[in-house]
Amino acid sequence: MIPTIQPLAHDPLNLKEITIRRLRLRLRVPFRTSFGTQQERDTILVILKTHDGLIGVGEAPSLVAPMYDEQYIWSDYDVLQRFLVPHIPTTITSYTQLQDETLSSIKGHHFSKCGIEAAYWNLVSQQTGESLKTLWGGEADIVVAGFSIGGQSLEDVLARAEVAIQAGFRRLKIKIWPSHDVQVIAALRERYPDLMLQVDANCAYDPFNPDHQRALKALDDFGLLMIEQPFSPHDFLDHTRFQAELNLQTPIALDESVLSVDDARRAIEMWRLFGVEDKLIINIKPPRVGGYWQGRLIAEMGYEQGIPCWMGGMLELGLGKWMNVILSSHPGCRLPGDHLQPQPYYERDIADPLPSIQPDGTIAVPSHWGGCAVDWQAVEELTIDLHTDKR
């Protein structure tokens, strides 16, 4: 079931220098989930320089604390510095070599690996002249923009929804948690009967709690696109059984549960075993699954197996957002992604230009290499720590 696609062959990339930088950014709007509220965050850039003057940049969009999974900024920076960067081949001849010699040699730490892998694709695109869209099997020229709302109260959610709809967003995702769910969605649905609407629970529900069961089942009444990750990451079985036994009509989308292409395969097989495979959706986040190529393989499998996929987001900088938009153009990504919000995420970004929403609610997919230039002055000024490995 797992697709076997060969990445594009390229000439050897001869590395001169590898740098990891920790950047500190300020969010324009605090982001609230069931884990808490964020106002400021650090992120990591991986920068690969070749002897012939190419510079590849990738982002490891780390979180400030281990609240999405066990990874966080310090573990990501540490594992890059100690283990991953020293094992990047000085001459990279293929994606497979990078995967075998560097990425696969370390267990887990997918965010860090994504930073290296994104920088690598950035280099390959420049060297071969092929766009990331071509390299990753993208096809669409536009993708529909979705917006994820982490409002703290009903009034807050309604206010943010109105701003987003005025800005042209056609799909909203609402962060929910017990006590902040049915009432919020009912109010939104009443106000916007035709809006594409979905919810994300970030693992906040217990499949065996009767109150939680009732709340999730009640969401069936609102014509949602999906309920994203209600239960804990390891609960494949509980998710599927809940879908089947409670006859939940709204598809469940897996986010935190899918850490690899193989996890995606297991999910598809599990939903098939319960006879509810038409109600499975997979959220793809390259940092969660170890990079864009792994994300592409999941999209490919979703396409072949009839399971809709879509691109989530991890508060990436513009550079990572552009890459997400590009992978969203893959035919396996059939639903709107979390690419943008009505205003830029950060007071200052390193990407020029940033992805932006068009009047019809779509984002144009770049056909040149990666969508943006890097503002190196911003990189310098936002850097709070760096480590360089000269070759």
Q: What's the burial of 198, exposed, middle or buried (CB within 10 Å: 0-12/13-18/19+)?
A: buried
Of the residues 49, 173, 279, 285, only one is catalytic, namely 285
By CB under 5 A, which span of 45-53, 99-107, 195-203, 234-242 interacts with Mg ion? Answer: 195-203
By CB under 5 A, which span of 24-32, 252-260, 287-295, 378-386 interacts with Mg ion? Answer: 252-260
Q: Which is nearer to Mg ion, 200 or 300 (CB)?
A: 200
By CB under 5 A, which span of 142-150, 199-207, 324-332, 350-358 interacts with Mg ion? Answer: 199-207
Q: Which is nearer to Mg ion, 137 or 312 (CB)?
A: 312
Question: Rounded to the nearest whole angstrom, what is the least distance from the CB of residue 252 to Mg ion in the complex?
Answer: 12
Of the residues 113, 175, 279, 321, only one is catalytic, namely 175
The footprint of Mg ion on this chain (CB under 5 A) covers a number of residues equal to 3
Q: Which is nearer to Mg ion, 69 or 130 (CB)?
A: 69
By CB under 5 A, which span of 24-32, 106-114, 166-174, 196-204 interacts with Mg ion? Answer: 196-204
Q: Which is nearer to Mg ion, 200 or 263 (CB)?
A: 200
Dihedral in degrees, nearest 10, Cα atoms 276, 277, 281, 282: 130
Angle at alpha carbon of residue 24, lines to 172 and 164, rounded to 5°: 15
Chain positions 45 to 74 lying near Mg ion, rule: CB under 5 A, are: none
Chain positions 204 to 243 lying near Mg ion, rule: CB under 5 A, are: 228
Query: Taking CB under 5 A as the rule, does residue 200 contact Mg ion?
Result: yes
Q: Which is nearer to Mg ion, 32 or 133 (CB)?
A: 32
Question: Rounded to the nearest whole angstrom, what is the least distance from the CB of residue 99 to Mg ion in the complex?
Answer: 26
Structure tokens given for 30: 């605090």
Q: Verify whether residue 175 is a known catalytic residue.
A: yes
Q: Verify whether residue 49 is a known catalytic residue.
A: no
Question: Rounded to the nearest whole angstrom, what is the least distance from the CB of residue 110 to Mg ion in the complex?
Answer: 15
Question: Rounded to the nearest whole angstrom, what is the least distance from the CB of residue 174 to Mg ion in the complex?
Answer: 11
Question: Rounded to the nearest whole angstrom, what is the least distance from the CB of residue 256 to Mg ion in the complex?
Answer: 7
Q: Which is nearer to Mg ion, 59 or 228 (CB)?
A: 228
Question: Rounded to the nearest whole angstrom, what is the least distance from the CB of residue 226 to Mg ion in the complex?
Answer: 10
Secondary structure of the chain in HEC code, one letter for each residue = CCCCCCCCCCCCEEEEEEEEEEEEEEEEEEEEECCEEEEEEEEEEEEEEECCCCEEEEEECCCCCCCCCCCCHHHHHHHHHHHHHHHCCCEECCHHHHHHHHHCCCCCCHHHHHHHHHHHHHHHHHHHCCCHHHHCCCCCCEEEEEEEECCCCHHHHHHHHHHHHHCCCCEEEEECECCECHHHHHHHHHHCCCCEEEEECCCCCCCCCHHHHHHHHHHHHHCCCCEECCCCCCCHHHHHHHHHHCCCCCCEEECCCCCCHHHHHHHHHHHHHCCCHHHEEEEECHHHHCCHHHHHHHHHHHHHHCCCEEECCCCCCHHHHHHHHHHHCCCCECCCEECCCCCCCECCCCEECCCCCCCCCEEECCCCCCCCEECHHHHHHHEEEEEEEEC
Question: Rounded to the nearest whole angstrom, what is the least distance from the CB of residue 89 to Mg ion in the complex?
Answer: 34
Q: Which is nearer to Mg ion, 79 or 258 (CB)?
A: 258
Residue 188, CA distances (Å) to 172, 203, 222 in order: 10, 22, 9
Q: Which of 76, 117, 235, 255 binds Mg ion (CB under 5 A)?
A: 255
By CB under 5 A, which span of 64-72, 255-263, 358-366, 374-382 interacts with Mg ion? Answer: 255-263
Query: Taking CB under 5 A as the rule, does residue 338 contact Mg ion?
Result: no
Contact 152, 178 (CB under 8 A): no
Closest residue to Mg ion, judged by C-beta, is 255
What residues act catalytically?
Answer: 175, 285
Which residues lie near Mg ion (CB under 5 A)?
200, 228, 255
